[in-house]
Amino acid sequence: MTAESGGQSRPPARGTPATTVYIGLVAALGIGLTTAAVIREGLVIDGPLVVLGFLAVLTWWSGRIVVANNVTLTFSSIVLLAAMALLGPAGAGIVGILVGPLQRGKVPLRARVFNTGMSAALGVLGGAAYRAAGGPRDSSDVIGAWEIMRQIAIPVFVADLVQVAVNLVLLAGVIRVAGGAPMRNQMLRLLGSTGPAYLGYGVVAFLLVVLWQPADVGPASVALILPPLLVARWAYLQYAEEFKAHERALHVLVAAVEAKAPHLTGHSERVADLSARMAEHLGLRGQVVADTRVAGMLHDLGQTTLPTPLVRGGEDTGGDLVRSYPARGADLLRDLSFLSGSLDAISRHREAHLLEGAIETDDLPARIVGLADEYDLLTEVGTPDGAVLEPEDALRTLGGASERRRELVGALEHAIGRTGGPST
C-alpha cells in the first residue's frame, strides 16, 4: 500500500456530454454486475460483510495522502481485495459500492459516481476471478503453507491483477472519451506507478484473509494488521509535510540573495517562472523542467559570496571575480543531492548571455536560464540608473542570428505571453 497514482479517485476530466454518458455507463455496469451477483448467489448479511462494509466506510477517513509526484496512498484497495476473497462477488460488489462515493475533500459528484461504478465492478469481477482461480468459499480448513499458497495466495494475486486491469481499462476509457492524451502512454505511466503498490495491497489483503479464516482470528484480524499500516500512513504524512517545508526552505536561499542585492528582489522568482515555462514549451521532460525552474531560482546564489559593495554597485565591474560567481553558486549547492540536476545550469547560465558574447553552450537548461535571466535584467531589473527596456525592444535586442537562438527566443516569447507580461 505504498503508492497509487491516479487510481480510482482521479476525477474524470471536464464534463463533455460524452464523458457524462460514459460515467453513466460505468455506474450502470457496476450496479448491474452487483445486482446480478446478488441475484445469482444470494446475499447473507453476516459478520464479515458488516465489518468489511464498515471498514469500507471508514476508509474515507484515512483519505488519500499525496506523497510526492502524484503518488497517493489508500486503504480502500486492501478492503476491496479482502472482500473479494472473504465475501465473494456479491459481497465485494456491495463493499465496492460503499468504497466508491465516500471520499474526503472536494471531489466532484461525477467523480464519485464514476468511482462507485468502477469499484463495484472491480469488486464483482475480482470476486469472480478469485473463485475462478480456485479460491474456496470458506477457507477455514485450508492448512499448511503449500495449501495456503495454492488456495489463497494465488487466487488473491489473480483477483489483484483483475483489479488492476479493470481499473486501468475503465480509467483509460474516461481519458479517451474526454479526448485526452494518447491512451497507450497514459496506461503505461499508470501501470508503472501503481503496479508495485497493488502488489503490496495484495500481500496485505492475503495476510488479512489467512488470519481471518484459516487462523480463525476473525474480524479481530483487522486490528492486528492495521497498526503497521497506520504508522506507515503517519510516516508518509510527516514526510509529505516536511517535504513541503523543505521546498519552502529553498526560498531562504533566494531571500539571502535578495538581502545581499536588494535590487534583485523578485528577480529570482521571475527567472524561475520564465525558465520553467520555456523548458515546458521546448518539450523537456518533467524532471528537467523542475530542475530548470530550480536553476532559475538559484542562479544568482553565488553572488552572496561576493563583497557587498561590488554586488550593490551594479554588475559587470568586478572582472574575473564577478565572472566566477555562477560556479561558486553551484559549488555551494554541491552537497545537496536533490539539486544535482540543476547545478550545471546554475554554473553555466552566464556563458549563455548573448550580450556578453555568448559561447553558445550545448546545455539547453543553461541556455534557457541564461536567456530568461538576461531578459529579466533588461526589462525588470534595469541598469544601475534605473533604465528598463520594453519587452519588444528587449526581445529584439536578444534575438540572435542562429537558428537555435531563434528557437529559444520563440520559447521566451511564448513564456511571456502565457504570463501576460512577467511583472509580479
In this chain, which of 50, 66, 188, 224 binds other proteins, going by CB under 8 A?
224
- Residue number with CB closer to other proteins (29 or 210): 210
360 binds other proteins (CB under 8 A): no
276 binds other proteins (CB under 8 A): no
423 binds other proteins (CB under 8 A): no
In this chain, which of 182, 227, 283, 386 binds other proteins, going by CB under 8 A?
227
Least Å from the CB of residue 153 to other proteins = 9
- Residue number with CB closer to other proteins (15 or 196): 196
In this chain, which of 16, 132, 239, 383 binds other proteins, going by CB under 8 A?
239
In this chain, which of 189, 260, 263, 353 binds other proteins, going by CB under 8 A?
260
Least Å from the CB of residue 417 to other proteins = 30
309 binds other proteins (CB under 8 A): yes
Three-class SS of the chain: CCCEECHHHCCCCCCCHHHHHHHHHHHHHHHHHHHHHHHHHCCCCCHHHHHHHHHHHHHHHHCCEEEECCEEECCHHHHHHHHHHHHHHHHHHHHHHHHCCCCCCCCCHHHHHHHHHHHHHHHHHHHHHHHHCCCCCCCCCCCCHHHHHHHHHHHHHHHHHHHHHHHHHHHHHHHHHCCCCCHHHHHHHHHHHHHHHHHHHHHHHHHHHHHHCCCCCHHHHHHHHHHHHHHHHHHHHHHHHHHHHHHHHHHHHHHHHHHHCHHHCCHHHHHHHHHHHHHHHCCCCHHHHHHHHHHHHHCCHHHHHCCHHHHHCCCCCCCHHHHCHHHHHHHHCCCCHHHHHHHHHHHHHHHHCHHHCCCCCCCHHHHHHHHHHHHHHHHHHCCCCCCCCCHHHHHHHHCCCCHHHHHHHHHHHHHHHHHCCCCC
Task: Provide the CA 202 distance to its chain's centre, in angstroms.
Answer: 22
In this chain, which of 75, 157, 236, 375 binds other proteins, going by CB under 8 A?
236
- Residue number with CB closer to other proteins (200 or 326): 200
- Residue number with CB closer to other proteins (216 or 320): 216
In this chain, which of 188, 259, 321, 355 binds other proteins, going by CB under 8 A?
259
The C-alpha atoms of residue 121 and residue 333 are separated, in whole angstroms, by 51
In this chain, which of 161, 187, 191, 215 binds other proteins, going by CB under 8 A?
215
Amino acid symbol at 158: V
Among the residue ranges 42-50, 163-171, 216-224, 357-365, the one whose residues contact other proteins (CB under 8 A): 216-224
Least Å from the CB of residue 301 to other proteins = 8
- Residue number with CB closer to other proteins (94 or 225): 225
Least Å from the CB of residue 306 to other proteins = 7
Nearest Cα neighbor of 380 from 274, 273, 267 is 267
Residue list 312-341, contact with other proteins (CB under 8 A): 328, 331-333, 335-338
86 binds other proteins (CB under 8 A): no
Q: Helix crossing, 154-177 with 183-212: angle to 10°? A: 150
122 binds other proteins (CB under 8 A): no
Residue list 142-181, contact with other proteins (CB under 8 A): 142-145, 148
Among the residue ranges 129-137, 139-147, 159-167, 357-365, the one whose residues contact other proteins (CB under 8 A): 139-147
Q: Which residues form the interface with other proteins (CB under 8 A)?
A: 1-2, 142-145, 148, 200, 203-204, 206-207, 210-211, 214-220, 223-225, 227-236, 238-239, 242-243, 245-246, 248-256, 259-260, 301, 304-309, 328, 331-333, 335-338
